[in-house]
């Protein structure tokens, strides 16, 4: 009975965090806007690991605990490169607001200016949401179903609601940060915004159907020896350009 409370709290906590991020949706008809939206996004997404940790530890199962530890190591590793990639649109726009980042791309999308960085962002989003080919938290061949193995009915449903809500919200932020949000070459439309979000959500499914699961050591090598040095090099290049231009 000792672990009952965290066992039941974990799925609810994960879903609450996923729904909190939807407050950052920069609609044309919003009544309020987050001035520090990107900072809020980093804080809330950093708390996501605790839902996985609670679910795996309180399940009292070796499979669940191993799955949660792998998911936590993966999420924390890719959060480093995600935070560094987020600095690029911040430097170019000079604002922490998602709405202002979207508005700044009225004439040209940031993905055209930073194609390698936008690719790194998308791969990082796939790894952050534990989707294939990076779904090591749920490796059926070695961990049965991972950290959610002991959950059924409502708890299982809440965990997967949180997971798919995170996929949609990462699609939302991808379209804002690198593809202009509701803007399409001087034309502004909420329908265009929704189409972009659905396109990125489709990409998540497309990647899942196209690639086999990575090896775990290759996954960690990709972020620490690939994305991290690349992001730091691009940042150094931008700093140098700003220094010599201004």
The 3-state DSSP class for residue 187 equals strand
DSSP string, 142-160: HHTTGGGTT--HHHHHHHH
Buried b (16+ CB within 10 A) or exposed e, 39-74: ebbeebbeebbbbbbbbbbbbebebbbbbbbbbbbb
Pair 51, 13: CB distance under 8 Å? yes
- Structure-token match 């379209």, residue found: 175
Pair 125, 35: CB distance under 8 Å? no
pLDDT digits (tens, 9 = 90+) for 46-82: 898 999 899 888 888 888 888 888 888 888 999 998 9
Is it the case that residue 167 has pLDDT exceeding 90? yes
Q: Of 5-14, 124-133, 180-189, which gets the smallest average pLDDT?
A: 180-189
Cα–Cα distance measured from residue 49 to residue 79, given in angstroms and rounded to the nearest whole number? 11
Pair 96, 90: CB distance under 8 Å? yes
Share of the chain above pLDDT 70, in %: 91
Cα–Cα distance measured from residue 162 to residue 12, given in angstroms and rounded to the nearest whole number? 9
Is it the case that residue 169 has pLDDT exceeding 90? yes
Q: What is the pTM of this model?
A: 0.88
Is it the case that residue 93 has pLDDT exceeding 90? no
Q: Which of 61-75, 153-167, 208-222 has the highest mean pLDDT?
A: 153-167
Please give the span between the terminal C-alpha atoms of the chain, in angstroms, as a whole number. Answer: 63
Cα–Cα distance measured from residue 228 to residue 224, given in angstroms and rounded to the nearest whole number? 5
Q: What is the mean pLDDT of residues 92-96?
A: 85
pLDDT digits (tens, 9 = 90+) for 128-153: 888 878 877 666 566 667 788 888 88
Is it the case that residue 217 has pLDDT exceeding 90? no
Give the pLDDT band of residue 203 (cuts 50, 70, 90): very high
């Amino acid at each position: 009975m000792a672990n009952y409370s965290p066992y039941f709290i974990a799925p609810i906590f994960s879903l609450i965090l996923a729904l909190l991020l939807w407050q950052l949706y920069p609609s044309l008809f919003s009544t309020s806007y987050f001035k520090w939206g990107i900072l809020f996004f980093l804080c809330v997404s950093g708390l996501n690991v605790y839902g996985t940790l609670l679910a795996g530890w309180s399940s009292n199962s070796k499979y669940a605990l191993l799955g949660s530890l792998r998911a936590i190591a993966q999420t924390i590793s890719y959060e480093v490169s995600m935070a560094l990639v987020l600095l690029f649109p911040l430097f170019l726009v000079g604002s922490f607001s998602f709405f202002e980042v979207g508005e700044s791309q009225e004439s040209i999308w940031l993905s055209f200016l930073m194609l390698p960085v936008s690719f790194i962002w998308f791969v990082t989003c796939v790894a952050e949401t534990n989707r294939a080919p990076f779904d090591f938290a749920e490796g059926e061949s070695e961990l049965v179903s991972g950290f959610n193995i002991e959950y059924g009915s409502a708890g299982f449903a809440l965990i997967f609601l949180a997971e798919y809500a995170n996929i949609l919200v990462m699609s939302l932020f991808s379209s804002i940060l690198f593809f202009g949000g509701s803007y399409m070459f001087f034309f502004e439309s909420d329908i265009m915004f929704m189409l972009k979000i659905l396109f990125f959500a489709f990409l998540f499914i497309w990647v899942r159907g196209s690639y086999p699961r990575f090896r775990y050591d290759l996954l960690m090598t990709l972020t620490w020896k690939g994305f991290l040095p690349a992001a730091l090099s691009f940042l150094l290049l931008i700093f140098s350009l700003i220094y010599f231009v201004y």
